[in-house]
Copies of this chain bind each other. A is one copy, B any other.
Amino acid sequence: MTQPFDDAELGALLDRIVAAVLPTLGQGKVADYIPALAAVDPNKLGIAVTTVDGRQFVAGDARETFSIQSISKVFTLTMALELVGDDLWQRVGREPSGTPFNSLVQLEYERGIPRNPLINAGALVVTDAIVAATASNPPIKAILDFIRVRAANPGVRIDGEVAQSEKAWGYRNSALANLMKAFGNMKSPVNEVLDTYFSQCSIVMSCADLSRAILYLANGGTDPLSGEKIISEQGARRINAIMLTCGHYDASGDFAFRVGVPAKSGVGGGIVAVVPGRMGIAVWSPALSPQGNSVAGTRALEQFTAATGYSIFE
């Protein structure tokens, strides 16, 4: 076995990783399905780590905010599991999808039950569960509040321009939601669920924020800094398992193979990752692989687990 990594060197490691990955920027393609995302500078690269004992390390553009997009699905999944418990699994599976992230094919073959909560269809079911359970309150406010507290940053906000664009161009998500409605797997009005979903995807945060916000999943479901229990130990393990198997659309297997930690990507170029028992990590670089995952972000995480030995597979 290799020599154990001394985490006092985390700051220096992040600097080295940014320095090593920066020259390789230029691969991949920034998401361009809406103008607000297409305008993002592809040369951004940030990485942040927050440890369960409260230290934070950052490098590159780790304090710039970006659109978290599908990373929001991890937080809404946590909320929905707390709101409705295991009943959620009647409405959404937990198997890798094996098909591109926005596919309707599988959804139709499986009669409106999405494969897992981290593909778009499954995340719409999760958001519907939150909408249905928070009727007295704008559900998006509950989601935003949850993420602000997790990030310990009341400045986390929704980018209204992105949210409007998402809505204006959200035909495919509308198709997914309508199809599930047709199969009886959408309880609230389709438009209300879509509006909430587009807003949650439009939340902007920094790597520093995200690495702090995800910390409860590195610590058995309890925020190690505030002491607040967010979800059960078993619940945290299960969300980590789902991130590992389903967190990168149909490149999830490749990410597990190369990086080896639970993580979730978003088309804004962010990835949030968890080293169980140790730390939350967030990276950001906007240019995406064909599967929709940050190219440089994945490479940075690959170097991180190679250098630290923090893969869960050894």
Contact string against B for A residues 144-167, beta-carbon threshold 8 Å, 1 for contact and 0 otherwise:
000000000000000000000000
Q: Which residues in chain A, 233-282, are within 8 Å of chain B measured between CB atoms? A: 233, 236-238, 240-242, 244-246, 250-254, 256-257, 260, 262, 276-277
CB within 8 Å for A253 and B260 given contacts A96-B98, A97-B98, A276-B312: no
Q: List the number of copies, as a whole number.
A: 4
Interface size class of A (residues with CB under 8 A): 35 or more
CB of A112, distance to nearest CB on chain B (Å): 10
Contacts of A308 in B (CB 8 A): none
Cα separation A93 to B253 with both chains bound (whole Å): 9
Kindly name the residue among A93, A260, A314 whose own CB sees the greatest number of chain B CB atoms within 10 A. A314
Does B178 lie within 8 Å of A240, measured CB to CB? no
Q: A1-B233, A238-B313, A241-B256 are in contact. List 6 more A-B contacts (CB 8 A).
A: A95-B254, A175-B176, A236-B313, A238-B257, A240-B314, A241-B313
Task: Give 7 A-B contacts (CB < 8 Å), ordered by A residue.
Answer: A95-B254, A98-B99, A103-B108, A105-B109, A175-B175, A237-B260, A244-B245
